[in-house]
Amino acid sequence: MSANFTSLKELLSQPIQITITTHQKPDGDAMGSSLALYNYLIQFHHRVKVIVPTEFPKYFNWMPGVDEILIYPNSKIEADEWIQSSDLICCLDFNTISRIHPMDEIVKIAQKPILLIDHHLQPDSFQWMFHDIAACSTCELIYRFIHELDEHPSISELTAQCIYTGILTDTGNFQNGATNRNAFLIVADLLSKGLNIQYIQEQLNQSSTESKLRFLGNALLNKLTVRKDLGIAFIVVDKKDAKTYNLQAGDTEGLVNYPLSIQEINISVLIKEEREITKLSFRSKGDINVNDFARTHFEGGGHKNAAGGKSIFPPDWLIKKITELIEKDKKKNK
């Protein structure tokens, strides 16, 4: 462990109070990394709470420790008290504090030591940073962090399930550009800790609903715009879809990946109308950098091939705007 981490190791050498938090609308890596660290740390009698800034999808309800999670808007008083009396705040799977809105205020006010564990591009600065953009997932970093703390750590089957969830989901089932050697090496080790891959597959990929499948069918049939001339495709999910298909947190997860299966499409954009803003998801192939695009134009960011952003404008306007930007870029590069 580097000198920088010696003080952190010292802090963790006796039971302390810890807050673990992760980004809004937690995905598999956010949930997996938070609960993996939770399940690991409670073994040492630390007082640990995972507090998430917004609701998480119901399909994570099977995860070990999930019942103990506080959802910030539903438990604000308890969460604020916990954060203010914590000795350490662990920020997982995000690179900038605005990603935990509406929890960002209290975290700033509390002025507690922060440990960031993350793999997104261009992170803000925090007291301790366990950060690597080459990591396939924050769960890979949790596995590595645990080994930094202890050369031969005790990783339970429950912790293994959480780490596997993040690696599986962030690598798109070991298929996207984030997939690296560590993903396979770590999973091989997790299998020796009792990990049951079939069980996780049933929980994550075989426990959906009929209405979610029909929503997917409708989105691909009726809500997809393909611009092969520009190599870009859009899918719009509006408020009407949310009502018709009774969409719940996480129900659009993965949808943005489908258009990339078309040979000529290199950028896919999911435009989702929410109550007050429009949320954007970008995915790209190869060298196309959607992190830069989301950062420059849509107050967002993420990874080279997977990024998000937001806008106050409606979907139609955004399709026009993004199309213009891509056309301009094409002309410039001619």
* Binding residues vs ligand 5GP (CB under 6 A): 23, 95-96, 99, 120, 281, 300-303, 306-310
Question: Of the two residues 82 and 130, which places its CB atom closer to ligand 5GP in the complex?
Answer: 130
Of 212 and 303, the one with the shorter C-beta distance to Mn ion is: 303
Q: Is 51 exposed, middle or buried (0-12, 13-18, 19+ CB in 10 A)?
A: buried
* Tokens describing residue 172: 């798109």
Residue closer to ligand 5GP (CB basis): 12 or 30: 30
Q: Assess 93 for contact with Mn ion (CB under 5 A).
A: yes
Q: Please identify, using beta-carbon distances, which residue of 170 and 241 lies nearer to Mn ion.
A: 170
CA angle 75, 79, 82 (to 5 degrees): 150
To 5 degrees, how large is the angle CA 274–CA 279–CA 282? 150
CB of 186 to ligand 5GP, least distance (A): 19
Report 15-34 residues binding Mn ion (CB under 5 A). Answer: 29
Distance set, CA 291 to CA 127, 148, 245, 258, 302 (Å) = 25, 30, 30, 19, 5
Q: Which does 32 bind (CB under 5 to 8 A by kind): ligand 5GP, Mn ion, none?
A: none
Which residue number is nearest to ligand 5GP in terms of Cβ?
A: 308
Which C-beta is closer to ligand 5GP: that of 92 or that of 115?
92
Q: Which is nearer to ligand 5GP, 100 or 307 (CB)?
A: 307
Name the binder of 223 from ligand 5GP, Mn ion, none, CB < 5-8 A by kind.
none
Q: How far is the CB of 73 from Mn ion (least distance, A)?
A: 23
21 versus 95: smaller Cβ distance to ligand 5GP:
95
Q: Which residue is nearest to Mn ion (CB)?
A: 29
CA 193, 195, 196: angle at the middle one, nearest 5? 150
Give me the least distance between CB of 156 and ligand 5GP, in Å please: 27
Cβ-in-10-Å burial (0-12, 13-18, 19+) of 211 comes to middle
SS3 15: coil
Q: Which stretch binds Mn ion (CB under 5 A): 61-69, 85-93, 143-151, 260-268?
A: 85-93
Strands 70-71, 88-92: parallel, antiparallel or unpaired by DSSP? unpaired
Q: Are 323 and 230 in contact (CB under 8 A)?
A: yes
Nearest residue (CB) to ligand 5GP, 101 versus 214:
101
> Which of residues 29 and 273 has its CB atom nearest to Mn ion in the complex?
29
Residues 49, 16 contacting (CB under 8 angstroms): no
Q: For residue 323, what are the contacts with CB-CB under 8 A and spacing of at least 6?
A: 227, 230, 232
- What CA–CA distance (Å, rounded) separates 117 from 56? 20
Binding-site partner at residue 23 among Mn ion, ligand 5GP, none, CB < 5 to 8 Å by type? ligand 5GP
CB atoms within 10 A of CB 85: 12
- Give me the least distance between CB of 69 and ligand 5GP, in Å please: 18
Q: Which 130-169 positions form the footprint of Mn ion (CB under 5 A)?
A: 138
Query: Which of ligand 5GP, Mn ion, none interacts with 250 (beta carbon under 5 to 8 A by kind)?
Result: none
CB of 121 to ligand 5GP, least distance (A): 9
Which residue stretches of 19-121 are H helix? 28-41, 76-84, 104-110
Smallest gap from Cβ 47 to ligand 5GP, in A, equals 28
When CB distances are held under 5 to 8 angstroms depending on the partner's kind, the choice from ligand 5GP, Mn ion, none that residue 165 binds is none
Closest CA to 333 of 296, 294, 288: 288
CB atoms within 10 A of CB 326: 19
Structure token pair of residue 215: 């929503």
Chain contacts with Mn ion (rule: CB under 5 A) = 29, 93, 138, 170
